[in-house]
Structure 1
Amino acid sequence: MFKIVNDMSVSALVAGFIAVLIGFASSVAIVFQAAQAAGADENMIVSWIMALGFGMGATCFFLSLWYKFPVITAWSTPGAALLATSLGSITYPEVIGVFVFAGLLAVLTGVSGLFDKVMRLVPLPIACAMLAGVLFQFGLSIFDSMVGDAFLVGTMLLAYLIGKQLLPRYAVLFVLIAGVVFVLGRSETHFLSNIPFNIGSLIWVWPEWNVGALIGIGLPLYIVTMTSQNIPGVAVMRSSGYETPVSPLISWTGFTSVVLAPFGGFAFNLAAITAAICSGQECHKDPKRRYIAGLSAGVFYAIAGLAGTSVVALFSVFPATMIAALAGIALLGTIGMNLKTAMMDDANREAALVTFLVTVSGVSFGGIASAFWGILFGVICLLISKIRFK
């Protein structure tokens, strides 16, 4: 306990809060669509949000506390998008069965150690190039958002540049404060007037098994979660210097999915975008003290889950341009550091560049996201470059 108090810092606490803010605000609408496609009513949708908040809160807090680095988890956003378009004709209990099945596959992947072995075969420059490609669109979103709201985004960017000069560790806090003050200053309505303040309840539904759904939906849900979420999540850890074996992390997120699936916790995984916010130098200059951001994120995720729809409504008050700009600015340092690591070594530069470009392209084959194909193409390029033709 005393160590936690000594290691605590405002910048790490803020990093955890921003991770939760961005995690919820950026993709909660997709979760709503997935729940509606599953046939969930209003109370069940609240149960989904609560289960997801509690699951992410528990995994962030306890895994970060145990491993002493920021383990940031998230719901599977591509998984939610898949569910929103694939659940058409099956019953709600069969949907729950799909969630349990995908979670069990994740547990087996972690327990077997297969995922950890595969990831250790990926060179660091390739992993960093892939991560830079994943984050690249968030950097662009700063200036895309500026087109729609130049004064708001310009104010936030200016706050970041000044903050980097005055107090680098708190630069992102300056950005958040500037954005909130700007939004409140021009708001013509009371900020909290339309936000309901209530606590929902978890609703348990027993799973039922539909073999066609398990194969047709459960297996793709597992694949997109592993390739689109867990692979970039591991890349964040590696690029930040954290070499903890990832198989136990995969096992625990899969186990959490199995336990909370009956309440609507459809898929938990390692985060990439929000993890990058909690793993960079802006969080804390000492990597050994950044785990506080994981504890902070865990607490805020649990609060978000407890508050249910109230927190979702609160996040919806902030304009999309502010959320996009906040995410992009918070990730600028991480994008730059990963590009530097990826391109530093002459022997790996071309393979890393291919990885970066494939990932940025967003290309998808067989429903598997570009992050996986970026690594695959990059590794192939690297292997060919090592061949010495006579």
Structure 2
Amino acid sequence: MTTNDANATTHARGGRSAIIEPGVGYLKGLRELPRHLTLKSISAGTVAAIFGCSGPALIVIGAAEAGGLTGSQTVSWLFAIYFLGGLISLVLAPFYMQPVVGAYSIPGAAILVGALTAFDFNQAVGAFIMAGVLVLLLGLSGVIGRVMRWLPMPIVMAMIAGALIRFGTGVVTAVGAAPLIVGAAVIAFFVVMRFVKAFPPVLAALIVGVAMAAVTGSIETASIDIAFAAPTFTVPTFTLDAFLAISVPLAILVIGAENAQATGVLMVEGYRPPINAMTVISGVGGILAGLLGGHNANIAGPMTAICSSEQAGEDKGGRYAAAVVNGVLFAAFGIVAGYAVPIILALPRPLIGAVAGLAMIGVLLTAFQQAFSAERGHQFGAFVALIVAMSDMKLLSISAPFWALLLGVLASWLADRVEIRRATTVAGT
């Protein structure tokens, strides 16, 4: 039985399937980990960690500043989401031998920039915990798994393409912002891809980019005023207003944005992701992070895309090693967040964005191919899902990936029925 077959198997208990998908187990995953710790898997995991520890950290710091948090509260927030996010990778990746990466909700942090001006931090912490409870209950119900498996694959792939296309266009934007640094990184990526098969192109891009940044004097220590402090406990206050304004949108973002993206990219790469387990652990992560003053620790969409891509190695069965590397680095960043933030942020932002975009090229290509394959139908719905996800729209505080799936399915039901019937007929002959 293959790894993916094992992950797809369910245990029948009393005529019902287990809610949490069975995996290959930690012993097998850890036993085979050393041989999968290749230069490619280590570099992909490192690139994903650098991406997650740079720009997104600024969003969290901005939200903390907007809410008037103390230095220790801010460090506690960073510790909660980074340490627990890394722990999620270390729990799921070896157990399922799939590159499932944990982090936190980046759009969730963004909505808190405004929310923390309306609610005190005790109310926000109560809302964080309630959001985790919502996600946990949805995971235990098995509803999310059934919905994701019911969604037409072309629409899911189109949503992934639309949600991640900003990383592709971000490479072009980054070249314009820092032509020498990013241009050298891009050239290194394609030269190594073409001529040096044994070396990871994304690692070459990072090394050359950092070297060029050092030569041009573009590496500057970030002036983030956070000293090291131990994590602190904030007493939660539970209110209906905070539940409606923070908990509900945050839970929807975790499921409809981060988890949906991660599930989609894993499907793009040929995995059968443990959707219910991913949802349950995101709920547990939300509760635990809330107790430490963080908004949510959950499955990461873009970072899962990096670690599951071909940049993490040719052997798909071994790419989970990239997620393990990422988990170790992420957790370590959380422990020393007060010191590590300025160091990570010293790297040029355009370089970080460009390297992340280069790592996702393979994922984007596969997503587009599967979304608009004429043999599979749903092309109109896939197009709607693509443009909605690309628009980065927010409606009712819910981000674009959720609406892309919903509107894509609706458009396909209205406009693709003849094509779907034809594709089904052809597939059955």
TM range (shorter): over 0.9
Q: Distance in 2 between matches of 1:196 and 1:387?
A: 60
1:318 equivalenced with 2:347 (yes/no): yes
TM-score, normalisation: structure 2: 0.85
Does 2:398 match 1:368? yes
Specify the alignment match of 1:76 in structure 2.
105
* CA positional deviation for 1:21: 0.5
Partner of 1:345: 374
Higher relative contact order (CA 8 A, sep 6+): 1
Q: Distance in 2 between matches of 1:210 and 1:367?
A: 19
> 1:371 deviation in Å?
1.3
Q: CA deviation at 1:279?
A: 0.4
Which residue, 370, 382, 386 being the options, matches 2:412? 382
1:180 equivalent among 210, 223, 244: 210
Q: What letter is aligned with 1:344?
A: S
Match of 1:42 among 49, 64, 71: 71
What amino acid maps onto 2:351 in structure 1?
A: M
1:110-259 counterparts in 2 under 5 A? 110-168=139-197, 170-187=200-217, 199-259=228-288
Report how far residue 238 of structure 1 moved: 1.4
Q: CA deviation at 1:36?
A: 2.6
The question of whether the paired residues in 2 share the 8 Å contact of 1:200 and 1:308 is answered with no
Cα-to-partner distance string for 1:161-192 (whole Å, 9 max, x where unaligned): 10111234601010010111111112278x67
Deviations 1:23-80 (A, max 9, x none): 1212111101222333320111111111111111110111101111111122111111
Consecutive unaligned residues of structure 1, counting only runs of 5 or more, are: none
The one of 77, 99, 123 equivalent to 2:128 is 99
Alpha carbons 2:224, 2:341 under 8 Å: kept: no
Amino acid at match of 2:195: L
Look up the equivalent residue of 1:254 and give its one-letter code: G
**Unmatched segments (≥5 aa) in structure 2:** 1-29, 422-429
CA contact (8 A) 1:200 1:306 kept: no
Provide the rounded CA distance (Å) in 2 between the counterparts of 1:290 and 1:229.
Answer: 20
What's the % identity of the aligned pairs?
A: 28
Q: Is the 8 A contact 2:75 2:226 kept in 1?
A: no
The number of equivalent residue pairs is: 388
Letter in 2 for 1:356: L
Structure 1 residues 188 and 222: CA distance shift in structure 2, 3 A: closer
SS of residue paired to 1:266: coil
Given that residues 38 and 95 in structure 1 are in contact (C-alpha distance below 8 angstroms), is that contact kept between their aligned partners in structure 2? no
SS at match of 2:378: helix
Check the 8 A contact 1:195/1:314 in 2, yes or no.
no
Following superposition, the deviation at residue 365 of structure 1 comes to 2.4
Shift of 1:224: 2.3
- Structure 1 runs of 4+ aligned residues shifted over 4 Å read 191-199
Query: Paired residue for 2:27?
Result: none
Which of 6, 29, 33 is 2:62 aligned to? 33
